[in-house]
Structure formats: structure tokens, C-alpha cells
Amino acid sequence: DQQVKQNSPSLSVQEGRISILNCDYTNSMFDYFLWYKKYPAEGPTFLISISSIKDKNEDGRFTVFLNKSAKHLSLHIVPSQPGDSAVYFCAASVGFDNNDMRFGAGTRLTVKP
């Protein structure tokens, strides 16, 4: 029962353009959401988070949008750079609780020079 779904296994964009990675969730109780980034042969690293009291959170080139009614969040990367090529995981929990964090399967982003 995957409560967090990333329906696009891969995404390819041109350098300088916008990358949009999507994530859907089924548990309406989730109220804290995170994005992690993973390079090959490395562990995931934390990228950005958002709580349900907000609908947008921005950190440099990275912005996460949350649509609670649609149970959907997205990560926007503008402008995309070749170094952004990685697998991106979204995760969700009820209250920020690593014990109960549910992860999506990931989206592999390729940014072409």
C-alpha cells in the first residue's frame, strides 16, 4: 500500500529550463513533506521540506508547492543545471516523524547540457 506515489520514474530536461517533479499522496492525515536528492552510489540528502500550514516553500533554485485538496506536491527547480541530475524522493508523515515517514519510489531527473 504505497501511500506516497511518484508516478514518473524519469524526467529529462534541458539545462536552464524548469524541472517539475510531482508527488501524490493518499493519506489525508499527512501534514509534513520532504524532498530528498540521491546521487548514484550515495545516500539520499535532504533538500527541502514543507508543512501543511504553507502552500509554498522556497530555497534558492528549489521551490516546493503543496496542494492539500488534491493531495499533491511538486518540486520546481529553476534553472535546472547538469549537477541536478539525480533521483529525487518525496516523503510524507503525520507530524514530522521519521518513525512514520513514507517515501515515494523516486523520479530520476536528467538535465542535459
Nearest to 113, CA basis, from 13, 40, 11, 9: 13
Radius of gyration of the chain (CA): 13
Nearest approach, Cβ of 94 to other proteins (angstroms)?
11
CB 55 within 8 A of CB 74: no
CA 61 centroid distance within chain: 13
CB 109 within 8 A of CB 17: no
Site string for other proteins, 39-78 (x = CB under 8 A): --xxxxxx--x-----------------------------
Nearest approach, Cβ of 46 to other proteins (angstroms)?
4
Nearest approach, Cβ of 39 to other proteins (angstroms)?
10
Q: Which of 84, 106, 107, 111 binds other proteins (CB under 8 A)?
A: 106
List residues bridging with 75 in a β-sheet. 21, 64
Is the CB of 30 or the CB of 36 nearer to other proteins? 36
For residue 89, state whether it binds other proteins (rule: CB under 8 A). Answer: yes
* Interface of this chain with other proteins, residues 18 to 37, rule: CB under 8 A: 34, 36
